[in-house]
Amino acid sequence: MKETFFRTLSWLHTWAGLLVCWVLLLIFFAGSLSYFRHEISLWAEPELHRGAFQDYQANQVVSQLDKGQDYIESHSPAEAQRWLINFPTQRNPMLNFAWQLPPEKGQRRGKIEQHTALADGSDMITHVRDSRGGDFFYRLHFDLHYMPAITARYIVGVCTMFMLIALISGIVIHKRIFKDLFSFRQNKGARSWLDAHNVSSVIALPYHLMITYTGLITLMLIYIPWTVTTAYPEDNQAFSKELNPARQTEKASGISAQQVRLSQLLPQVQVQWGDAPIKQVMVSNPKDQNSQVTFYQNTGKDVTDESTLLVFSGVTGELKYASPHEVSGAVVTYDTMMSLHTARFAAPLLRILFFFCGLLGCAMVATGTLMWAIRLRQKQQKTIEKGEKVGLGLRLVEGLNFMFILGLPLGAVAFCYANRLLPADFATRSAWEVHSFFIALCAMGIWAFIGRSRRHWQVALMLIGALYCALPILNAFTSPSHFIDNIQSQQWALVGFDVFAALFGGAMLFASTKLSVMVKTLQKPNRKNVASDKKVIPKSLDTRYATKLATSSPLEEVKS
Amino acid sequence: MSQIPTSNSPISATTVRPLSGYVQAAIRWIKQERTQFGLQVFVRASAALLAGYVAAATLACLLTQVLPMPRFESTLTANMLAFLFYAIAIIYAFCVRKTWHAWRDLTLFSLLCFALLKVCGQ
C-alpha cells in the first residue's frame, strides 16, 4: 500500500478507526452502561424502591416456592407458556413471581408479567411502570434500534472487525508504547489529543483487545456459520443441542396433567447442590404432559458463562438433566470468553473497573476522532484563512463528533428523565423513553448544524452536566426513597446510580469551565501573539483555536 | 474498428470525436495519481473484506475437520480462531507489495483450503 509496512499500518489505523468511529462510540457507550443493566432497570422502576428489598434466606425457600406456585396458578392466565420464580440475588434483591405470555404476532418472545413480593410477605406489588430500563442499553449494544436485529448484528460485527484491525495496527505503529503511558503533554493542541488517545488506549489495552475479540465470539455463529455446516452436514440442530444441552425444551403436548409441587423437588436439588443458593425456578409448559421444571443455581463469581442447572419433569418430578461438572477445554474457553465479555461473574468493584475501562474505550474513540478533525482543519487552515469555505468532509466530521460525543450522554440522561416524567400509565411509555434517547441524539445533530465552535461545546457540556447533576434530585422527587433513605436501607445500587450521575455531571461541568477558560485565554493574549505573527485572525472561534495548534502533524511525528 | 478510419463523412465524425474524447479523458483520469491510489484502495479493501472473509472461513472449516478433537470441540475452536485469521488476512491484503496479489493470494489460499477440505472430508 504505502512504502513501508509501518506506514501502511499507520494509514490502515487511521481509516479503519475513522470509518466506523461513531457507531463504535455508540456501541462502547451502550456496552459500558450494560454492565449496570440490572441496576439501571431497578432505578427505572421506582415502585419497587420501598418495602420490596430482601436477602436470600435458605430456610424460607420452601415456603416461598409454595407461595409462588399458588400465586402464579391463581393469577396467571391458562395460556401462560412459562412460570418463573426469581429468588433474591445480590444484584436483584427481590422475590418475583412472573409468567410469560405466548408471543403476539410478529414478536419473537412473549411478554413477561412480573409481580414482586413485599419483604414482609404481606402483599404483592402488581403495578410497575412499563420501562425497558437497562435492557434498552443492553439491546442497543448489539441490536441497535429501528432496524431488524439481524441486520444490526451484521453492522455491529463489521464495525467490531474494523475495531480489531484498528487495535492491531495501532499497537504496531506505536513504537514507544511504554514511554507514552507516562507522557501527557497538556495544552499542546493536537499533541495533547494524541497523548490522550494514547493514554486511554494503552492503559486499558488488554481490556480493549479482550472486549473486541470476545465481542466477535459472542455472535460468532451468526458471522461465520460455515464451520457448523461443514462439521454437521446433516443437521445444525445437533450442534446447538451440544452447545446448550439443557435448552431443548420439549413442545407442549396439549394433554393436560397435574403439575408437581415445586417444593417437593427441593430434596433432590439439595442432594445435587447442597446448600448452594437458587437463583431461579422456571416451569415451562405448565400443567402439560411435557412440562419441565428447571432450577438455576446462583453461581455468583465463577468465571464461566454456562449456568449450573437441574431439569426435572414437571409431572413426575424425575430428574432429567444435570449440568455436567466436567466439560471439555474448548467449551470452557468459549464460556470464559463469553463471560469475560458480559462480566456476569464480576463483583461490584470489578464491575466498576470494567465500566471504567469501557468509558476509557469511549474516550479512545472520541479522542481519536477529535484528533482527526483537528488535523483536517490544520490541513485546510491556509485555504480557510484566504476566506474560502470549510470543506464538506471537515464539516461532516466536526458535526458528527459534536452529535455523537455530546448526544450519547444527553440521550442517556433524556432516557432517565423520560422514565420519571412520562405518566406511569401512559400506554406507549416504554417506547417513548427509547424515542427520547434518539430525539436527544438528533437534537445534538441539529445543534451541530447551527454551530460547533468551542463556545457551543462549552454550553452543551454545561447543559448536559447540569442535567446529570440534577438526576439525584429528580430521583428524590419521583421515587419513594431518596439518596439518604437508600443509604440507610443499604441499597447500594440506587446510591451508586446517584453518585455516578453526580460525578459524571460534575466532570462535564468541569470540562465546560475548563473550555471557557481556554476560550478566554485564546481570545485575549493569543490575539496579540497571532497578530504579531502577521496572520489574519479569523472571526469564528473554532478556526481561532486551530491556529494555536502545533504545525507538525502528530501522526507524522509517530511515524518518524 | 473498421469504421473509425472512415471519418471523412460528416456523420461519423461527429459521433466518433466525442467518443474518443471520452476514452482519452477516461485514460487521463485513470493515469492520475489520485485515481490510481483510489483504485488501489478499492481493490485492496474489497480483497480484504471479501476474499479475506472467504479465506478465513474456509480455513476455519478445514480446521473443523483436521483438528484432533471431537467434532463439537473442533467446531468451537475453529470458529473462535476464525476472526484471528480474518484479521491477519485483512492486514495481509493491505501490506502485500503488488495490489492485485491481494486478490490472487487470498483466492489461492481459499482454493487450497477448500481442496484440502474436500480431501479430508471423505
pLDDT tens profile A63-100: 999 999 999 989 988 888 889 999 998 888 899 999 99
- To the nearest whole Å, the CA of B82 is away from the closest chain A CA by 8
Is pLDDT at A411 greater than 50 in this prediction? Answer: yes
Q: Does A209 touch chain B (CB under 8 A)?
A: no
Q: What is the pLDDT of residues B75-107, one digit of tens each?
A: 999 999 999 999 999 999 999 989 999 999 999
| Cβ-based neighbour number of residue A211 at 10 Å | 22
B-interface mutation test, from A227, A232, A340, A341, most B Cβ less than 10 A away: A227
pLDDT band at A433 (very low <50, low <70, confident <90, very high): very high
Taking an 8 Å cut-off on Cβ atoms, the answer to whether A227 and B121 are in contact is: no
CA distance A2 to A543: 31
B-interface mutation test, from A3, A230, A234, A242, most B Cβ less than 10 A away: A230
CA distance A493 to A339: 22
Chain B residues whose beta carbon lies within 8 Å of the beta carbon of residue A165:
87, 90-91
Q: Please identify which residue in the block is written with the cell numbers 451440544.
A: A242
Is pLDDT at A557 greater than 50 in this prediction? Answer: no
Q: Does A546 touch chain B (CB under 8 A)?
A: no
Q: Which helix (H) or strand (E) holds A322?
A: strand A319-322
Q: List residues in chain B touching A: CB distance below 8 A.
A: 40-41, 44, 56-58, 60-61, 63-65, 69-80, 82-84, 86-87, 90-91, 94-95, 117, 121
Enumerate residues 6+ apart whose C-beta is below 8 A from A381. Answer: A543, A546, A547
Taking an 8 Å cut-off on Cβ atoms, the answer to whether B56 and A224 are in contact is: yes
Chain B residues whose beta carbon lies within 8 Å of the beta carbon of residue A333:
76-77, 80
Q: Please identify which residue in the block is written with the cell numbers 447442590.
A: A273
Closest chain A residue to B49 measured between Cα atoms? A158
Q: What is the pLDDT of residues A440-475, one digit of tens each?
A: 999 999 999 998 888 999 999 999 999 999 999 999
Chain A residues whose beta carbon lies within 8 Å of the beta carbon of residue B56:
224
The pLDDT value recorded for residue B15 is 53
The pLDDT value recorded for residue A183 is 67
The pLDDT value recorded for residue A522 is 66
Is pLDDT at A553 greater than 80 in this prediction? Answer: no
Complete DSSP assignment for A121-178: SS-EE-------THHHHHHHHHH-SSS-HHHHHHHHHHHHHHHHHHHHHHHHH-TTTT
Q: Does A6 touch chain B (CB under 8 A)?
A: no
Is pLDDT at A8 greater than 80 in this prediction? Answer: yes
CA distance A279 to A295: 8
Grid cell in block for residue A407: 448526544
The pLDDT value recorded for residue A464 is 96
Strands A112-117 and A124-125, by their bridges, are antiparallel
- To the nearest whole Å, the CA of B27 is away from the closest chain A CA by 22
Q: Does A8 touch chain B (CB under 8 A)?
A: yes
Taking an 8 Å cut-off on Cβ atoms, the answer to whether B71 and A232 are in contact is: yes
pLDDT band at A537 (very low <50, low <70, confident <90, very high): very low
Taking an 8 Å cut-off on Cβ atoms, the answer to whether A329 and B91 are in contact is: no
Taking an 8 Å cut-off on Cβ atoms, the answer to whether A231 and B71 are in contact is: yes
The pLDDT value recorded for residue A532 is 38
Choose among A10, A70, A28, A16: nearest CA to A360.
A28
With H, G, I as helix, E, B as strand and everything else as coil, classify residue A444. helix
pLDDT band at B16 (very low <50, low <70, confident <90, very high): low
Grid cell in block for residue B36: 490510481
Q: What is the pLDDT of residues A278-337, one digit of tens each?
A: 999 999 888 888 888 999 888 876 666 667 888 888 888 888 888 776 678 888 899 889
CA distance A461 to A405: 10
Enumerate residues 6+ apart whose C-beta is below 8 A from A266. Answer: A61, A62, A65
Q: Where are the alpha helices (DSSP H) in A404-470?
A: 407-421, 429-450, 454-469
Q: Where are the alpha helices (DSSP H) in A76-104?
A: none
Taking an 8 Å cut-off on Cβ atoms, the answer to whether A228 and B78 are in contact is: no
Q: What percent of chain A has pLDDT over 70?
A: 89
Is pLDDT at A525 greater than 80 in this prediction? Answer: no
Q: Which helix (H) or strand (E) holds A84?
A: strand A82-86
Q: What is the pLDDT of residues A202-233, one digit of tens each?
A: 889 999 999 999 999 999 999 999 999 888 88
What is the number of residues in chain A?
560
Q: What is the pLDDT of residues A363-402, one digit of tens each?
A: 999 999 999 998 888 888 888 888 788 888 889 999 999 9
- To the nearest whole Å, the CA of B14 is away from the closest chain A CA by 39
Taking an 8 Å cut-off on Cβ atoms, the answer to whether B95 and A5 are in contact is: yes
The pTM score is 0.86
Chain-wide mean pLDDT for chain A? 85
Taking an 8 Å cut-off on Cβ atoms, the answer to whether A330 and B83 are in contact is: no
For B75, the closest of A161, A165, A239 (CB atoms) is A239
- Dihedral (Cα; A141, A142, A148, A150), 10-degree rounding: 180
Taking an 8 Å cut-off on Cβ atoms, the answer to whether A165 and B78 are in contact is: no
Is pLDDT at A409 greater than 50 in this prediction? Answer: yes
Sign of CA dihedral A73, A76, A77, A83: negative
Taking an 8 Å cut-off on Cβ atoms, the answer to whether A220 and B64 are in contact is: no
ipTM of the complex: 0.85
